[in-house]
Structure 1
Amino acid sequence: MSKWEAKEKRMEDIVTAAFEIFLEKGYEGTSMEAIASKAQISKGGLYHHFSSKDEILYYANAKLSEPVDNFLRQAAEQDNPVDGLRFYIRHYIGHWMAHQRELSFFFLTLTKAISCPETWPNYRDYYDNLIGTIAGLYEKGVANRQLSSHRTRARATTLVAALDGILADLVMNEKLSEAEVIGDFEDQFIDSILMR
């Protein structure tokens, strides 16, 4: 195993350990010592990779969110922007519904981020990119005369907020159907503005 591969493996071990402990004990109940122990690394070794549990929390969240980042990239690469929007909605909801423990971790991270203003610029950059990419799909759809003219940035912002909001409801409300929710999102955020 190369030095780079060994470092990647160590980082994966730390993320996996942190993920489990944060979910089990919450943010306040998690310590660097507990993460180091679970990852089978010395506390000094852990500090070699991460300076704080905040840093681990946000790094783990970024790693667990990589599939969603890939969905966004793939949606933006679609030739047809309407197909790109449908792709993103379906895959975003489907992914988190299939990975509910990771979704719990995502919400834990957001809750922590809200209480730490120093993390806001990172989240703002992330959401600006996300909203900008989706707004770009809407703009392309309007330019192609597939979608009616509308405030694309406002619609993209609302879509992103609604997607994050519905995830909690889907997890807690067993009466909701994933397919029905996806259909409702496509109806409200795509079909309602399709050019006829």
Structure 2
Amino acid sequence: MALVAAALVAGGAYLAYDRLVTQPALERAALLGFGVDRTDVPAPALELEALDGSRFSLAQARGQVVFLNFWATWCPPCREEMPSMLRLGRELEAKYPGRFRMVAVSVDEGWDPVKEFFAAPPYFGKPGLAVTLDPGHAVTKAYYCAARGGSCPDLKFPESYIVDKDGRLVAYVVGPRDWNDPTARQLLESLIGS
């Protein structure tokens, strides 16, 4: 009987260790492998005109996890990652209505190339999420510098930023990614569920 009790205690201790130490370490390793950089600073203010004529404001999205992707139509890696990013955004917005927003922030100089980009296959004029424009790059630079603790090296695209429900910039990703990777979904869903 004592042997069974000892085995149960040891098994419980292992499960607790696995849940508290091993799993978070694996999650951190997966995030590093995916190229996620962590930060924890207030997200810069953001209010931009959207493709549909409305305005997107980060302040109005308080209480939601917001994924911001800074991109351009003239940027091949940006165009390459767009389909998987839009798919992930549509899926999470449908699964978590009112709790998640994905916003593509174009740094193009005007709407014409953006409209032309989304008029072509596979989008046919309907990106399925908020598309905004930052032609002067003021918002882009604010996020770029905030994520790096005030350091503002040359801008590179694409870059993606994750703002938590409290309006804090908590993570960013430099360069293109395959947003179908389970690591991306895991990170976003953990923030949505927190």
Q: TM-score range by the shorter chain?
A: under 0.3
Tell me the TM-score normalised to structure 1 length.
0.25
Relative CO higher for 1 or 2, CA cutoff 8 Å, sep ≥ 6? 2
Tell me the TM-score normalised to structure 2 length.
0.25
Greater share of residues in helix: 1
Greater share of residues in strand: 2
